[in-house]
Amino acid sequence: MKKQPTIVTGRIKLRRFAPDYCAGLDKKKTRARTDARGRRIGDLQPLLYANAHHAVLLIFQGMDASGKDGAIRTVLQHVNPAGVQTANFKVPSEEEKAHDFLWRIHHAVPRAGSIGVFNRSHYEAVLAERVLGLVPRQTWRRRYGEIVDFERMLVANGVLILKFHLHLSRREQAKRFKERLADPKKNWKFSHADLATRQRWPDYIDAYEDMLNATSHPAARWHIVPADRNWYRDHVVAGIVVKALDALKLKWPKPAKNLAKVRIGK
119 lies in the site for a copy of itself, by CB under 8 A: yes
The closest of 175, 120, 122 to 145, measured between CA atoms, is 122
The closest of 109, 59, 120, 112 to 83, measured between CA atoms, is 112
187 lies in the site for a copy of itself, by CB under 8 A: yes
Q: Are 197 and 63 in contact (CB under 8 A)?
A: yes
Q: Which of 185, 218, 247, 249 contacts a copy of itself by CB under 8 A?
A: 185
Q: Which of 72, 154, 161, 225 contacts a copy of itself by CB under 8 A?
A: 72
Rounded to the nearest whole angstrom, what is the least distance from the CB of residue 2 to a copy of itself in the complex? 26
Rounded to the nearest whole angstrom, what is the least distance from the CB of residue 71 to a copy of itself in the complex? 10
Of the pair 77, 139, the CB lying nearest a copy of itself is at 77
φ, ψ (nearest 5 deg) of residue 209: -60, -45
Q: Are 60 and 166 in contact (CB under 8 A)?
A: yes
Residue 109 to residue 115: CA distance in whole angstroms: 9
197 lies in the site for a copy of itself, by CB under 8 A: no
Site stretch for a copy of itself (CB under 8 A), options 30-38, 96-104, 125-133, 191-199: 191-199
Site stretch for a copy of itself (CB under 8 A), options 28-36, 74-82, 151-159, 212-220: 74-82
| DSSP symbols for 37-104 | HHHHHHHHHHHHHHH-S-EEEEEEEESTTS-HHHHHHHHTTTS-GGGEEEEE--SPPHHHHTS-TTHH
Question: Which helix (H) or strand (E) element contains residue 16?
Answer: none
Of 155-184, binders to a copy of itself (CB under 8 A) are 170-171, 174, 177-178, 181, 184
Residue 182 to residue 235: CA distance in whole angstroms: 27
Of the pair 65, 227, the CB lying nearest a copy of itself is at 65
Please state whether beta strands 55-62 and 159-167 pair in parallel, antiparallel, or not at all (unpaired). parallel
82 lies in the site for a copy of itself, by CB under 8 A: yes
Q: Are 225 and 19 in contact (CB under 8 A)?
A: no
Q: Which of 26, 80, 132, 134 contacts a copy of itself by CB under 8 A?
A: 80
Radius of gyration of the chain (CA): 20
Amino acid identity of residue 107, one-letter, is H
Q: Which of 117, 147, 220, 240 contacts a copy of itself by CB under 8 A?
A: 117
256 lies in the site for a copy of itself, by CB under 8 A: yes
249 lies in the site for a copy of itself, by CB under 8 A: no
Site stretch for a copy of itself (CB under 8 A), options 13-21, 98-106, 188-196, 242-250: 188-196
Amino acid identity of residue 222, one-letter, is W
Of the pair 11, 171, the CB lying nearest a copy of itself is at 171
Contact residues for a copy of itself, defined by CB under 8 A: 50, 69, 72-73, 76-77, 79-86, 88, 117, 119, 170-171, 174, 177-178, 181, 184-185, 187-192, 195, 198, 252-256, 258-259, 262, 264-266
